[in-house]
Amino acid sequence: LIYINKNYMNITLRQIEIFLATANSGSVSRAALELFISQAAASMSLKEFEAQLGEKLFDRVGKKLILNESGRAAVTMAAEVSGRAGELADYFADRSHLSGNLIIGASSTIGNYVLPEYAASFISHNPETKVQLEVGNTEEIIEKVAGFAVDIGFIEGSCCEPELEVVSWRDDELAVFSAPQHTLAAAGSVGIAELESCNWVLREKGSGTREIFENQISRLSMTINIALELGNTEAVKNAVSRGSGISCLSHCALQDLLKLGVIKLIDTPFFDLSRKFYLIIHRKKYKTRILRSFLEHVGA
């Protein structure tokens, strides 16, 4: 005997799709554009969805829609329903082919220098799939994973959100570097005092790279002069290569400029600049077939 709750028979997958798109974008108009429907149709669908649930799901702050407590509860369940519906379609499709969309969030170093290769090889093996990669700093990616705005996240900083599962993924190491003409470039191994006398160019607060570097500065009780704070890794590299100061970034982000000879590594044996990259996923996230396949592909 299969029991069907008839009170919710009028809720459609399309309503759930529109609700999730609105929750992710914070705007009915942007959700409508994403789904290729009119704003009026999206607004009506959302209104009907709230009416059937008997709850308002958003607070309006200016022009932006923010999930309220009921909305946050609904988005967790709606995301699972959407995922399971996709899995149902996949199950009865051609099982020899993987299809579907995957949205991945990644902090700057991973998103720009590590994941593109994984994503490209995954698509080449599964040509009917589509991967969307969203890059931000660690704090932004944690927020996106927590809000189900992305299916999975990869970060280089710490994460203490209890609703997220954090899995160690792969090793990385940072390096201090400068332009070739900088006074420390030819100095061999340098000391703390020499680094304290330099101008530094660093990533912004909230980035995993900045967090690891500041932990080392604190451990050594160093005082440094931060001349520039920049919001992405490429901007930091360009500033340092043009002589604006020295910096500390991931080895994998520096390979292109090292090969061109426009930057040089500085030996800092007193720094412990090893770290981990982490995979994060919401504990209530339903792992669809495409998500499970991608996790296997990246060795997670």
CA distance 90 to 103: 17
- pLDDT for the residue 165: 95
CA distance 36 to 71: 23
CA distance 276 to 172: 6
CA distance 50 to 54: 6
13-25 vs 39-53: helix axis angle to the nearest 10?
110
Mean pLDDT, rounded, for 42-48: 92
Give burial (CB, 10 Å; 0-12/13-18/19+) of 242. Answer: exposed
**φ/ψ bin of 152: left (φ > 0), alpha (ψ from -120 to 50), beta (otherwise):** beta
Question: Which of 92-96, 133-137, 277-281 is most confident?
Answer: 277-281
- pLDDT for the residue 62: 83
**Per-residue pLDDT at 92 exceeds 90:** no
Q: pLDDT tens digits for 231-251?
A: 889 999 999 999 999 999 999
- pLDDT for the residue 143: 92
Q: pLDDT tens digits for 263-293?
A: 999 999 899 999 999 999 999 888 888 999 9
What pTM does this model have? 0.69
Mean pLDDT, rounded, for 118-145: 93
**Per-residue pLDDT at 218 exceeds 80:** yes
115-125 vs 289-297: helix axis angle to the nearest 10?
120
Per-residue confidence band for 1, with pLDDT thresholds at 50, 70 and 90: very low
Pairing of strands 264-266, 164-178: antiparallel
**Per-residue pLDDT at 86 exceeds 80:** no
**Per-residue pLDDT at 95 exceeds 80:** no
**Per-residue pLDDT at 48 exceeds 80:** yes
What are the residues whose beta carbons fall under 8 Å from the beta carbon of 154, sequence distance 6 or more?
104, 105, 106, 107, 110, 111, 114, 115, 141, 169, 277, 278, 279, 280
